[in-house]
A and B are shown apart, each in its own frame.
Chain A
Amino acid sequence: MTQSIDYAAIAPPLILAVAAGLVLLLDAFLPRTPRTLPTLGLVTLAGVLAALAAVVAQAARGARPRTFCVPADAAGGRPSCSFVVDDLTLVFGAVVLATAVVVVLLSWTQLAEGGIPAGEWYFLLLCTLTGAVTLPASRDLIMLVVALELVSLPVFALTALKRYDARGSEAALKLFLVSVISTAVMLFGVSLLYGLTGAVHLDRVAARLGGSPPAAQLASLPAGVPSGVLTVAVVLVLAGFAFKVAAVPFHFWAGDVYQGAPVPVAALLSVISKAAGFAGLIVVLTIALAGHAALWAPIVAVLAVLTMTVGNLLALRQRHAVRLLAWSSVAQSGYILAPLGVAGKSAASASIAYLAIYAAMNAGAFAVVMLVSRTRERDELDDYRGLAFRSPAAALALAFFLICLAGLPPGLAGLFAKVVVFREIVHGGLGWLAVVLAVNTVIGLYYYIAWTARLFAPAPLPVPGRGVPTRPVTIAVAVALLVSLAFSVAPQLVLSAVR
């Protein structure tokens, strides 16, 4: 059986994959000159921007193509497709690629410091992006797992790429072990789903499992599907994704890995890799398991509560900037999970809206941290004292990102994101979850505001910079700032993107 391929539909991942190959070739054959590094960076950036343009073009055209389809089975119905471009795919694609622009710009400065082979770095980065863009479009179990692995595998290498850096190697090993375990767990769950239904396409899995969304009670399973096995499968799949998004109790790796990895990789982990995890989670839950919301919604709700609470409490005690961002991004994962816990009609779009806004502000925060960590070796919170006097623009930008993350005006983007989540939960009637979320918002505020206040505190001695070009990072900060400001003034941009 041959399948026709719609190249327009798969353009974004295709462009990224081609760019990855090109970077590897250029790195192998270009003569080593001082111009090589910027050339590789430019090619990577061009690839990412072209992929982003392809996503925008798809969105503008309005068509929602599907490809890699198999014809309808004997039971009738529509043909099932493995690769579907819909609103969800486009939003995730745009979020991932826009963040990728920031990450590439950060890498530019990171690589200029030396110690990291540039060709490999950009190749691995583009591979991860290819996976992250493919994942939200995947509509069958196998493609989902492959895409998720494509996101994860290059990240270990990226983490460990800085030679002779013990911390980086340790982080890479931890990440590797966690990721392998989570993949194994998830594969087991996936194979159970397959075994129960005999189908890999998500829509067919949903059809075989029965139930109709939104199901108030446990949907009655068709004969021959033991409910115990289904529960186990759901729990295992959830656990697998929970590792990827660093949800509690599968969060413990986050702190060490974020701190040990180079800052661009930490940004990648906290935004792109997390977005990919959530994309997979949302796709599986709302398509394949749509009829069994009553089974997974309570688990997700509990997961969300644990994640936000533990993440916030851990962040409360941190003195290292990247570690604080690591735990705070765990807490933010909890906020993103929360709407899925009520499994309402618009739960997925609330989660996605929050994720998109979170991506902008968190990437921005990492960009400023990158900028500051060029001059400060330790990168502790106290190093940020008096930043407002040394480099007012960076300090104001960081203050804005942190206040956004805290969800207070003038960081309206963060506030609206929280309102969307709150609204979803209140509407779904989970009052206790809303209260927990409210309390967590306040806990989160404490450390964000404490960090912000440090920026404006009287400064210790100024420290000379290390003479590394920081212009790309400055551009990255500006990009993130512009997007965050745009979301603050017109959050409609993301709220209306997903229906």
Chain B
Amino acid sequence: MSAIIIGLLAVPLAGAAVLLLLTRPARLLRWYGPAVSGVTLVLALVLAGSFDYGRAARAQFEIDHAWIPGLDLRFHLGVDGVSLPLVVLTALLTFLCFLYLVRHRPEGGRSGALAFTLLVLEVGMIGTFLALDLLLFFVFFEIVLIPMYFVIAIWGGKERRGAAVKFILYTLLGSAVLLLGLLLIWAHTGTLDMVRLAGAHGAGIPRAAQILAFLAVGAGLAVKAPMWPLHTWLPAAHTEAPTVGSVLLAGVLLKMGTYGFVRIAIPVLPEGAAVLAPWLGAFAVVGIVYGSLACLAQRDLKRMIAYSSVGHMGFVLLGLATLTPVGMNAALFGNIAHGLITGLLFFVAGAIKERYGTSEMSRLGGGMLARLPYLGSLLTFACVASLGLPGLAGFWGEMLALLGAFHPAPGLSRPLFLVFMVVGGIGTVLTAAYFLLMLSRVTHGRPDEPVPRLGDVSPYELAAWTPLVVLTVALGLWPKALLAVTDPAVRAFLGAP
């Protein structure tokens, strides 16, 4: 069965390699991306189907080969309850992006090159979630940088050059610090095996080294997540990236940061986590409030969604900071929910930009529900899901994160986390405020000025978006489906019963 794991990486990689050799015909090329990513998605679903949910805490389908003995680097892959949902999410979002691209090509042409870039990106993203070796994780973590840089720099908007450079410099600085942290762990434990490290719960690493390593690893991951105040690359990158770039950036790349906290920083360095968790929590709630306030001030739809990501990832980080199973589960749930909902939001925002030629809210005018009823409804649905309406996926991640803050792990200051909870609660209200304000401006009212007729949602868009809508509703109504998968692994990481 471990062939599936290899296949998840090999199929997109081989697909990209074939694309290098392939020249034309364009018609064939059009369906090439969806086909390759479709096969990957099927593999991911087969993986999910054959996963032993009774042993979700353990890594399954493991592959472990020595790669570079000189660096202790092993080609060690596997999947457990924490990584499985993210792998499926990645495969799904990539497939949907390709489906969307069949009809909706970004400016800049060169669809073959775009398909190549996205497939390499997929290798990096899936590999990050599968890796069970610290250095291998780092390698995959880095692989996504160059493709994403080109997605923004070639197919992006007007200010793409600056945004792409900012993106890659910020994240690379983060990665360099992350690498130092990982090597510090290695220097003290002598192993890079994540399974063994997580099982050891920090044994063998002195307290001071744990704090230092958590600081380095955490800072590196926090850039990616992004955590306030390291988020400043995000709005620019999101605004300038093409639709598929934004979807994958928000849907998957940001998750790599928080996933790293769950997988590496917290289980491997428990003492460091205990010392720095209050800071993490503080930055998280500042991020929540800051993100919401920044959203209120935005005029550009895509930029607003980008800032809303800062807020939502704030909830995820708050969940992590509690160091409790509830909080960690909330974080993982919030990850998936944010991936689905924000993915949908960016798809819809991209569609709006494509039709109106702008995503400035003031120039969109009102009355979208009247002019483009389906698109308007989908925008409304995505916003409502994002602001955390009970019954939709966005609700559980935020609610459980606040619940986790109500009962933080023993050893953490409860009053402090109660304050965080209250501030986070205010954040949810602000989140609702900006989304509703935006909806009232864009979807309601009458169309201001006569504009040429615009086509409503196309079949390809519908095909790409329906799975996201369905999953958002399904996870909202039945959150246990996901929580049951992540919970055993989270408890094992925390050493909790």
The reply on A419 being an interface residue by CB < 8 A is yes
Residues on A with C-beta less than 8 A from B150 are 453, 456
A409 to B179, CA, bound (A): 14
A316 to chain B, nearest CB (A): 12
The reply on A422 being an interface residue by CB < 8 A is yes
Chain B residue, CB-CB nearest to A426: B183
| Contacts A415-B142, A442-B172, A453-B153 given; does A422 touch B183 at CB 8 Å | yes
The reply to whether B70 and A496 contact each other, CB–CB distance below 8 Å, is yes
The reply on B433 being an interface residue by CB < 8 A is no
The reply to whether B172 and A434 contact each other, CB–CB distance below 8 Å, is no
B71, B124, B161, B164: the one within 8 Å of A419 (CB) = B71
Enumerate A283-323 residues with CB–CB distance to B below 8 Å. none
B69, B71, B165: the one within 8 Å of A449 (CB) = B165
Residues on B with C-beta less than 8 A from A439 are 173, 176
The reply to whether A415 and B139 contact each other, CB–CB distance below 8 Å, is yes
Residues on B with C-beta less than 8 A from A415 are 139, 142
Residues on A with C-beta less than 8 A from B164 are 453
The reply to whether B169 and A442 contact each other, CB–CB distance below 8 Å, is yes
A449 to B145, CA, bound (A): 11
B127 to chain A, nearest CB (A): 10
The reply on A450 being an interface residue by CB < 8 A is yes
The reply to whether B187 and A419 contact each other, CB–CB distance below 8 Å, is no
The reply to whether A446 and B169 contact each other, CB–CB distance below 8 Å, is yes
B71, B142, B161, B184: the one within 8 Å of A426 (CB) = B184
| Contacts A408-B142, A415-B142 given; does A495 touch B165 at CB 8 Å | no
| Contacts A438-B177, A445-B172 given; does A423 touch B146 at CB 8 Å | no
Mark contacts of A404-420 with chain B using CB atoms, 8 A cut-off: 1 yes-contact digit, 0 otherwise: 00001110100110011
A491 to B153, CA, bound (A): 31
A296 to B161, CA, bound (A): 44
The reply to whether A419 and B135 contact each other, CB–CB distance below 8 Å, is yes
A105 to chain B, nearest CB (A): 25
| Contacts A439-B173, A450-B165, A453-B153 given; does A434 touch B139 at CB 8 Å | no
A422 to B168, CA, bound (A): 21
A415 to B142, CA, bound (A): 10
The reply on A217 being an interface residue by CB < 8 A is no
| Contacts A439-B176, A446-B169 given; does A423 touch B69 at CB 8 Å | no
Residues on A with C-beta less than 8 A from B173 are 438-439, 442
Enumerate A470-499 residues with CB–CB distance to B below 8 Å. 490-492, 495-496
Chain A residue, CB-CB nearest to B179: A422
Mark contacts of B358-376 with chain A using CB atoms, 8 A cut-off: 1 yes-contact digit, 0 otherwise: 0000000000000000000
| Contacts A409-B146, A446-B165 given; does A423 touch B71 at CB 8 Å | yes
B257 to chain A, nearest CB (A): 17
Residues on B with C-beta less than 8 A from A403 are 146
Chain B residue, CB-CB nearest to A388: B113
The reply to whether B180 and A445 contact each other, CB–CB distance below 8 Å, is no
A468 to B154, CA, bound (A): 33
Chain A residue, CB-CB nearest to B142: A409
The reply on B186 being an interface residue by CB < 8 A is yes
A410 to B123, CA, bound (A): 11
Enumerate B317-345 residues with CB–CB distance to A below 8 Å. none
A342 to chain B, nearest CB (A): 12
The reply on A163 being an interface residue by CB < 8 A is no
Chain B residue, CB-CB nearest to A403: B146
The reply to whether A438 and B165 contact each other, CB–CB distance below 8 Å, is no
The reply on A259 being an interface residue by CB < 8 A is no
A131 to chain B, nearest CB (A): 30
Residues on A with C-beta less than 8 A from B187 are 423, 426-427
The reply on A435 being an interface residue by CB < 8 A is yes
Mark contacts of B12-36 with chain A using CB atoms, 8 A cut-off: 1 yes-contact digit, 0 otherwise: 0000000000000000000000000
The reply to whether A442 and B176 contact each other, CB–CB distance below 8 Å, is yes
The reply to whether B146 and A495 contact each other, CB–CB distance below 8 Å, is no
Residues on A with C-beta less than 8 A from B69 are 492, 495-496
Enumerate A381-428 residues with CB–CB distance to B below 8 Å. 403, 408-410, 412, 415-416, 419-420, 422-423, 426-427
Enumerate B49-77 residues with CB–CB distance to A below 8 Å. 68-71
The reply on A441 being an interface residue by CB < 8 A is yes
Chain B residue, CB-CB nearest to A449: B168
| Contacts A408-B146, A426-B183 given; does A438 touch B124 at CB 8 Å | no
Chain B residue, CB-CB nearest to A411: B146
A212 to chain B, nearest CB (A): 24
Enumerate B65-92 residues with CB–CB distance to A below 8 Å. 68-71
Enumerate B220-248 residues with CB–CB distance to A below 8 Å. none
A430 to B140, CA, bound (A): 27
B224 to chain A, nearest CB (A): 15
Listed residue (B69, B135, B180, B184) with the most chain A CB atoms within 10 angstroms of its CB? B180
A422 to B178, CA, bound (A): 12
B245 to chain A, nearest CB (A): 16
A490 to B177, CA, bound (A): 25
The reply on B435 being an interface residue by CB < 8 A is no
A408, A412, A492, A496: the one within 8 Å of B172 (CB) = A408
B106 to chain A, nearest CB (A): 15
The reply on B143 being an interface residue by CB < 8 A is yes
B183 to chain A, nearest CB (A): 4
B268 to chain A, nearest CB (A): 16
B338 to chain A, nearest CB (A): 26
The reply to whether A409 and B71 contact each other, CB–CB distance below 8 Å, is no
The reply to whether B180 and A426 contact each other, CB–CB distance below 8 Å, is yes
Mark contacts of A8-32 with chain B using CB atoms, 8 A cut-off: 1 yes-contact digit, 0 otherwise: 0000000000000000000000000
The reply on B137 being an interface residue by CB < 8 A is no
The reply on B149 being an interface residue by CB < 8 A is yes
Mark contacts of A431-444 with chain B using CB atoms, 8 A cut-off: 1 yes-contact digit, 0 otherwise: 10011001101100
The reply to whether A492 and B70 contact each other, CB–CB distance below 8 Å, is yes
Mark contacts of B127-149 with chain A using CB atoms, 8 A cut-off: 1 yes-contact digit, 0 otherwise: 00000000100011011011001
A438 to B71, CA, bound (A): 19
Residues on A with C-beta less than 8 A from B154 are 456
A387 to chain B, nearest CB (A): 14
A369 to chain B, nearest CB (A): 21
A289 to chain B, nearest CB (A): 26
Residues on A with C-beta less than 8 A from B146 are 403, 408-410
Enumerate A452-479 residues with CB–CB distance to B below 8 Å. 453, 456
The reply to whether B165 and A491 contact each other, CB–CB distance below 8 Å, is no
B402 to chain A, nearest CB (A): 36
Residues on B with C-beta less than 8 A from A492 are 68-70
Mark contacts of B92-136 with chain A using CB atoms, 8 A cut-off: 1 yes-contact digit, 0 otherwise: 000000000000000000000000000010001000000000010
A431, A453, A491: the one within 8 Å of B71 (CB) = A491
B420 to chain A, nearest CB (A): 30
Enumerate A184-210 residues with CB–CB distance to B below 8 Å. none
Residues on A with C-beta less than 8 A from B184 are 426
A468 to B140, CA, bound (A): 42
The reply to whether A449 and B149 contact each other, CB–CB distance below 8 Å, is yes
B131 to chain A, nearest CB (A): 13
Chain A residue, CB-CB nearest to B212: A431
A456 to B120, CA, bound (A): 17
A426 to chain B, nearest CB (A): 4
Enumerate B150-193 residues with CB–CB distance to A below 8 Å. 150, 153-154, 161, 164-165, 168-169, 172-173, 176-177, 179-180, 183-184, 186-187
Of the A-B pairs whose beta carbons lie under 8 Å apart in the complex, a sample of 14, sorted by A's number, is A403-B146, A409-B145, A409-B146, A419-B179, A420-B70, A420-B71, A426-B180, A434-B183, A438-B177, A442-B176, A446-B169, A453-B150, A453-B161, A495-B71
Residues of chain B having any CB pair with chain A under 8 Å: 68-71, 120, 124, 135, 139-140, 142-143, 145-146, 149-150, 153-154, 161, 164-165, 168-169, 172-173, 176-177, 179-180, 183-184, 186-187, 212
What 8 pairs between A and B have smallest CB-CB spacing? A495-B70, A438-B176, A409-B143, A426-B183, A442-B173, A409-B142, A427-B187, A492-B68
List 15 additional A-B contacts (Cβ < 8 Å) besides A410-B143, A419-B135, A423-B186. Answer: A410-B120, A419-B183, A422-B179, A423-B187, A442-B176, A445-B169, A449-B165, A453-B150, A490-B68, A491-B68, A491-B70, A492-B68, A492-B69, A495-B70, A495-B71
